[in-house]
Structure 1
Amino acid sequence: MIFDKLVTIMAEQLGVQPQEISTDTLLRDDLAVDSLDLYNLIMVLEEEFNIELPQEELNDIETVEDIIKILKEQGVEE
């Protein structure tokens, strides 16, 4: 499932506990993700899922659900 894989990656990359992450978790407010953290996370996701995420959509990412939506749009399957 995309969410489970994403949680594992985010916990490792951001140094947070998996239970802190839900679909409505706000990246900046709840997890203190800054632009460098987000950039690094995106790089890992692109490598992990073998995709290239559209740069114009990356600025609109606010929640974990936003990331899942973009991954699905790029063909990543549950």
Structure 2
Amino acid sequence: MSDVLEGVKEVIVDVMKIDPKEVTVETRFIEDLKADSMDQFFLIDGLCEKFDLSISDEDARQIKSVKDAVTYIEKVK
């Protein structure tokens, strides 16, 4: 498993307070984790902090799943 995926999972588990086993690469934030707008904000903020990057609001709106987050971070890193 990639370091980026592991890091994304860590952020999700921390923000959503869920079991790491509930998070797979296919996990969707809203549909699967029932993330509301504040959860989504904290997820993006956590990813920015974890990976030392800045995610624009426009890009953040496109990140809807673990796979989206990993793909985005790998692209900008």
Q: State the TM bucket, normalised to the shorter chain.
A: 0.7 to 0.9
| Matched residue, 1:55 | 57
| Matched residue, 2:18 | 16
TM-score, scaled relative to structure 1: 0.87
Please report the RMSD computed on the Cα atoms of aligned residues, expressed in angstroms.
Answer: 1.1
Could you say what secondary structure the match of 2:30 adopts? helix
**Tell me, which stretches of 5 or more residues in structure 1 are unaligned?**
none
Q: Retained in 2: the 8 A contact 1:2–1:68? A: yes
- After TM superposition, the runs of 4+ consecutive aligned structure 1 residues lying more than 3 A away are none
TM-score, scaled relative to structure 2: 0.88
**Tell me, which stretches of 5 or more residues in structure 2 are unaligned?**
none
Total equivalences in the alignment: 75
User: Is the aligned partner of 1:27 residue 2:16?
Assistant: no
CA distance in 1: counterparts of 2:57 and 2:72, whole angstroms: 11
CA distance in 2: counterparts of 1:9 and 1:44, whole angstroms: 6
